[in-house]
Amino acid sequence: MTHLRFNYTRMQQGRMYLFSGTVMALVQGGYVRRIPPGQEPSKAVMGLLLIIPSFIIMGLALSPAVLYVGLVLFSFASATVVPCLTTIVSSYGSTEQKGTVLGIFRSLGALARALGPLVTSIAYWSLGSTICYCLGSVLLIIPYILLKKTEFNLSSFKTKSLKE
C-alpha cells in the first residue's frame, strides 16, 4: 500500500517499520510492564479496540502523516494486546499444563501469522487496500467480543477464587 499510494521506496518502508518497532518497544518497556496484575484483560480489550480505528485510518490515509497516526495506534495496540493475551492464557490450566497451554497459544499465533498474510493478500489484490483495511477492522469486532466475554469470565473467576 505504501509503495502504490505514496511511492515509498524500500528505504522509506524500512524506516516505517523502524518507527513502528520503536513505538512498540517503548510501549512494552514503559507502559505494559507496569500494568498491575489482574488488569491484563481490560488492557487487552482496550488494545484490541484501538486496532479497529488504526486499520480504518491506515486504509483511508491519503498522506504519510495520516498513515503514521494509524501506525502509532496500531503499534501501541499490538504492543499491548500480545503480552496481555499471553498473561491471560497463562492463567489457564494447572501447573503441569502451563507449558502445553502456552505452547498451543503460541502455535496458534504462528499459524495466524502464516495464514493471515495469505488471506489478506488475496483480499488486498482482489478488493483494494481501502476495502481490505476497513473489512479487517470490521472483522476485528469478532475477537473483541470474544475477548470481552473472556474478560468478564476471568474477573468473575478470580473473584470466586479470592473468596474461597
pLDDT in tens, 51-100: 999 999 999 999 999 999 999 999 999 999 999 999 988 888 888 999 99
d(CA 32, CA 131): 32
What CA–CA distances, in Å, run from 45 to 40, 81, 142? 9, 8, 12
Q: Which residue has the cell 498513515?
A: 67
**pTM reported for the whole predicted model:** 0.84
- CATH number for 2-163 (one of 3.90.1150.180, 2.30.30.40, 1.10.1200.10, 1.20.1250.20): it is 1.20.1250.20
Taking every pair of C-alpha atoms in the chain, what is the biggest distance, in angstroms? 61
Letter for the amino acid at 146? Answer: L
What pLDDT is attached to residue 80? Answer: 96
d(CA 57, CA 52): 9
What pLDDT is attached to residue 150? Answer: 75
Domain residues of the chain, as ranges?
2-163
pLDDT at 149 > cutoff 90 = no
